[in-house]
Amino acid sequence: MTATTTPPDTSSPYAELKAPTTARRLLTAPTTGPLVALLLACAFFSLSTDQFLTGGNFSLIVQQVMVVGTLAIGQTLIILTAGIDLSCGAVMAFGSIMIAKMAAEGSLPPLAAIALGLVVCGGFGLLNGLLVQKIPLPPFIVTLGMLNVAFALTHIYSEEQTVTNLPGPLTALGQTFPLGGTDITYGSLVTIALFLLFAYALSSTGWGRHVYALGNSPEAARLNGIRTSRLTIGVYTVAGVLYGIAALLLISRTGVGDPQAGQTDNLDSITAVVLGGTSLFGGRGSVLGTFIGVLIVGVFRNGLQLMGVASIYQTLITGVLVILAVTVDQLSRKKAR
Amino acid sequence: MSRTTRLSSSLLRTAAVAGVAALTLTACGSGSGSGSASAGSDSGEVKVGLITKTDTNPFFVKMKEGAEKAAKSEGVELMTAAGKFDGDNAGQVTAIENMVAAGVKGILITPSDSKAIVPAIEKAKAKGVLVIALDTPTEPESAVDALFATDNLKAGELIGEYAKAAMKGKTAKIAALDLAPGVSVGVQRHNGFLKGFGATDDDVVCAQDTGGDQAKGQTAMENCLQKEPDINVVYTINEPAALGAYTALKAKGREKDVLIVSVDGGCTGTEAVKDGTIAATSQQYPLKMASEGVKAVVTYAKDGKKASGYTDTGVTLITDKAQDGVTSKDTAYGLENCWG
């Protein structure tokens, strides 16, 4: 239970800056509620339908949430700095149409097209970060503008056409391999690996603690010697690259480059972050929580569908869950003060 | 101090979650209660999936109603799903996967993206699921087992012929309020109209996309009138766009001397034909598409016979100002058969 490294800001009056260890966060922190919700939902759907509790179905759920999940990692990083990113879905759509078109119709080899897509998405993130940090503008406004920019560029660049006949490497992550009688997609593994990587980075590296510190109080973080400007721009850029990876996962999953993609994914990623117990006011939360949040949405959608409940109920329930999650966050903050 | 608040906050969360679980139970209970089968009972009952573009468009609401009725009378279980918005391909892919996992015998789908949905449909077909496209064909059309839809070219032709007759030889200045670029339904209706009218795209003085939305239809018409004040024929992709166009024309005092024609045959639209806002509309039959689809799945489940090819679900010209040489029915018939 003792912290192995001391955060650089223990002397500050902001108690929450103290970074808990991974174990402690898992046991007590905001992840507990979402985890219980996920388990309850799973138990409920297992009892209600015969098809829910199978390996194949769980593999399917992870596969279905991998795109929003990867976006939500980037969203979590940004929300932890007390920002928000409304452009993530649109940036991903642009990345996906770019990768698909460059490889299928352009002259680029598939791997170069993928690399280009990651760089371009990272570029969008960098631009978001610069505008938020250097001018500075509110993240909500910057990313709202960028949402429209990326959306329009997607439609201009694609000429409203879906790109088909993708070369093999672009859809490789959508392929499956058998594991214990069920089929797992490679993309699911990529998503899970990314979640683990960022969970580690946030809980056990100096960078991670700085992100939390920045979200709690940029001024205190700056006074404690954190280079907040560089950190903020870096977080937005890393998020952009993650959207590029999500773009690749998206085309591998659907097998096409779709200019209409991602239109509600920005809100879906925020939903996942909030359900996972990360505070929209920054500084509190974790990517593991977000993973659970993503799974909650996926499990509800899949389970209700298996039960034969119309999709509008999924929307209803997701809405109620989000309001409850934010309410709980607000109430617990009030008590903490 | 912070420890205890952390703990109590997690307790609070748990309590909240339990509340939601209870709510979910109730919602699910009422949802499946109104359906044809009790949820989760695996009695070997045939399951049919219906995936529409959205949950909210009255056209799809009617489609769902037709499917529900047919499912009830055939004694099969109907599962429904929809995209979050028109064009939500990923949402439809997820719905297909979930329905296949639930063990449906057949899926009826109105594709949001004719091309992008194809790989997912092929995966479902590979697992022995019959897939029928309703209303909108896939690209290529052969990606599905069968297509039950309105002949959209014919729907356009009917209102084109009608408009030609109604103009009685006057020179036409046509505005076209279209759907969206590259969407086959819109292209076919547009081309059908021109064919029926005996016109070409050169005769269209103003063409705008509306997404089939009333507000966008109004804006489009306002801009068209700004560009060409003497427009006298307005082709519209559907009745919401037509009603938007009417509002714009009325603001300019032009509503009496401009002919508006449309396609769809929704109840609001048919009422608008009755009160003279729209001159004529081509009525299509979503309820029939869905009920025929359900029946085809039942046939497949019973004797393994797959529906194939294109089935025209019919289209009727509805107007109260019939023109010589153009076959039509009046709004009384239209209102009896309208949807929405």
Please state the rounded mean pLDDT for residues A149-176: 90
Higher per-residue pLDDT: B26 or A74: A74
CB atoms within 10 A of CB B245: 32
B88 contact residues in A (CB cutoff 8 A): 260, 263-264
The answer to whether the CB atoms of B85 and A305 lie below 8 A apart is no
**CB-based contact, B44 to chain A, within 8 Å:** no
Q: How confident is the model at residue A17 (pLDDT cuts 50, 70, 90)?
A: very low
Average pLDDT value for chain B:
87
ipTM (interface predicted TM): 0.71
Selecting from A16, A160, A301 the residue whose C-beta is nearest the C-beta of B181 gives A160
Of all residues in chain A, the one with the smallest CA distance to B36 is A308
pLDDT digits (tens, 9 = 90+) for A82-121: 999 999 999 999 999 999 999 998 889 999 999 999 999 9
Q: How far apart, in whole angstroms, are the C-alpha atoms of residue A184 and residue B139?
A: 29
- Amino acid at residue number A45: F
**CB-based contact, A327 to chain B, within 8 Å:** yes
Min Cα–Cα distance to chain B from A140, Å = 23
Both tokens of residue A249?
């996962």
Upper half-sphere CA count for residue A235 (Cβ side, 13 Å)? 31
The answer to whether the CB atoms of B90 and A30 lie below 8 A apart is no
Q: How far apart, in whole angstroms, are the C-alpha atoms of residue A52 and residue A64?
A: 14
Given a contact cutoff of 8 angstroms between Cβ atoms, the answer to whether B186 and B114 are in contact is no
A336 contact residues in B (CB cutoff 8 A): 2, 5
Min Cα–Cα distance to chain B from A315, Å = 9
Please state the rounded mean pLDDT for residues A134-163: 93
- Location of structure tokens 């769902």: B64
Residue B93 has pLDDT above 70, yes or no: yes
Task: Return the HEC string of B239-300.
Answer: HHHHHHHHHHHHHCCCCCCCEEEEEECEHHHHHHHHCCCCCEEEEECHHHHHHHHHHHHHHH
Q: How far apart, in whole angstroms, are the C-alpha atoms of residue B78 and residue B89?
A: 21
B119 contact residues in A (CB cutoff 8 A): 254-256
Cα A38 from chain centre: 18
pLDDT digits (tens, 9 = 90+) for B253-266: 999 999 999 999 99
How many helices (H) and strands (E) are present in chain A, helices listed first?
Answer: 14, 2
How is residue B203 annotated by DSSP?
Answer: G
Residue A254 has pLDDT above 90, yes or no: no
pLDDT at B32: 36
Of all residues in chain A, the one with the smallest CA distance to B49 is A308
Q: How confident is the model at residue A256 (pLDDT cuts 50, 70, 90)?
A: confident
- Amino acid at residue number A308: G
pLDDT at B55: 84
Please state the rounded mean pLDDT for residues B156-174: 95
Min Cα–Cα distance to chain A from B264, Å = 24
Higher per-residue pLDDT: A10 or B13: B13
**CB-based contact, B78 to chain A, within 8 Å:** yes
A307 contact residues in B (CB cutoff 8 A): 28, 31-32, 39-40
Selecting from B42, B113, B120 the residue whose C-beta is nearest the C-beta of A162 gives B113
A65 contact residues in B (CB cutoff 8 A): none
Q: How confident is the model at residue A19 (pLDDT cuts 50, 70, 90)?
A: low
Given a contact cutoff of 8 angstroms between Cβ atoms, the answer to whether B281 and B265 are in contact is yes
Q: Which of A171, A189, A195 is nearest to A113 (CA)?
A: A171
Of the ranges A29-33, A86-90, A169-173, B202-206, the best mean pLDDT one: A86-90
Residue A10 has pLDDT above 80, yes or no: no
pLDDT at A24: 53
Q: Return the percentage of chain A with pLDDT > 90, whole number.
A: 63
Residue A7 has pLDDT above 70, yes or no: no
Lowest-pLDDT range, A111-115, B136-140, B144-148? B136-140
Instruction: Identify any residues that bridge with B234 across adjacent strands, giving them in sequence order.
Output: B175, B260
Please state the rounded mean pLDDT for residues B314-337: 95
How is residue B170 annotated by DSSP?
Answer: P
pLDDT at A224: 92
The answer to whether the CB atoms of B40 and A50 lie below 8 A apart is yes
The answer to whether the CB atoms of A332 and B9 lie below 8 A apart is yes
pLDDT digits (tens, 9 = 90+) for A229-243: 999 999 999 999 999
Min Cα–Cα distance to chain A from B17, Å = 5
The answer to whether the CB atoms of B98 and A161 lie below 8 A apart is no
Lowest-pLDDT range, A23-32, B48-57, B292-301, B322-331? A23-32
Q: At CA B98, angle to CA B94 and CA B104, rounded to 5?
A: 130
pLDDT at A210: 96
Q: Which domains does chain B have, with CATH numbers?
A: 47-150+285-307 (3.40.50.2300), 152-283+317-337 (3.40.50.2300)
Of all residues in chain B, the one with the smallest CA distance to A259 is B87
pLDDT digits (tens, 9 = 90+) for A266-280: 999 999 999 999 998
Instruction: Identify any residues that bridge with B148 across adjacent strands, giving them in sequence order.
Output: B134, B311
**CB-based contact, B22 to chain A, within 8 Å:** no
pLDDT at A21: 57
pLDDT at A223: 94
pLDDT digits (tens, 9 = 90+) for A222-231: 999 999 999 9
**CB-based contact, B40 to chain A, within 8 Å:** yes
pLDDT at A321: 87
Q: With the C-alpha atoms ordered B294, B295, B297, B301, is the resulting torsion angle positive or negative?
A: positive
Q: How far apart, in whole angstroms, are the C-alpha atoms of residue B249 and residue A238?
A: 51
CA distance readout (Å), A35 to A17, A38, A287: 24, 5, 13
The answer to whether the CB atoms of B27 and A317 lie below 8 A apart is yes
B118 contact residues in A (CB cutoff 8 A): 164, 255-256
pTM recorded for the entire structure: 0.78
Please state the rounded mean pLDDT for residues A203-225: 94
In B35-175, alpha helices (H) = 58-74, 89-101, 118-126, 152-167
A256 contact residues in B (CB cutoff 8 A): 89, 115-116, 118-119
Please state the rounded mean pLDDT for residues A156-168: 88
Q: Which domains does chain A have, with CATH numbers?
A: 51-336 (1.10.3470)
Q: How many residues does chain B have?
A: 340
pLDDT at B20: 53
CB-neighbour burial class of residue A244 (10 A; exposed 0-12, middle 13-18, buried 19+): buried
Upper half-sphere CA count for residue A262 (Cβ side, 13 Å)? 36
Residue B74 has pLDDT above 80, yes or no: yes
Of all residues in chain A, the one with the smallest CA distance to B95 is A305
pLDDT digits (tens, 9 = 90+) for A24-34: 544 455 678 88
Min Cα–Cα distance to chain A from B113, Å = 8
A28 contact residues in B (CB cutoff 8 A): 3, 6-7, 10
Q: How confident is the model at residue A312 (pLDDT cuts 50, 70, 90)?
A: confident
Min Cα–Cα distance to chain A from B9, Å = 5
The answer to whether the CB atoms of B32 and A307 lie below 8 A apart is yes
For an interface test with B, the pick among A38, A39, A156, A162 (most B C-beta atoms closer than 10 Å) comes out as A162
The answer to whether the CB atoms of B31 and A307 lie below 8 A apart is yes
pLDDT digits (tens, 9 = 90+) for A77-90: 999 999 999 999 99
- Amino acid at residue number A116: L
**CB-based contact, B20 to chain A, within 8 Å:** yes
Residue B18 has pLDDT above 90, yes or no: no
pLDDT at B17: 52
Edge-to-edge strand list for the sheet holding B77-82: B77-82, B47-52, B106-109, B130-134, B146-149, B309-312
B97 contact residues in A (CB cutoff 8 A): 60, 63-64
pLDDT at A106: 81
Average pLDDT value for chain A:
88
pLDDT at B34: 34
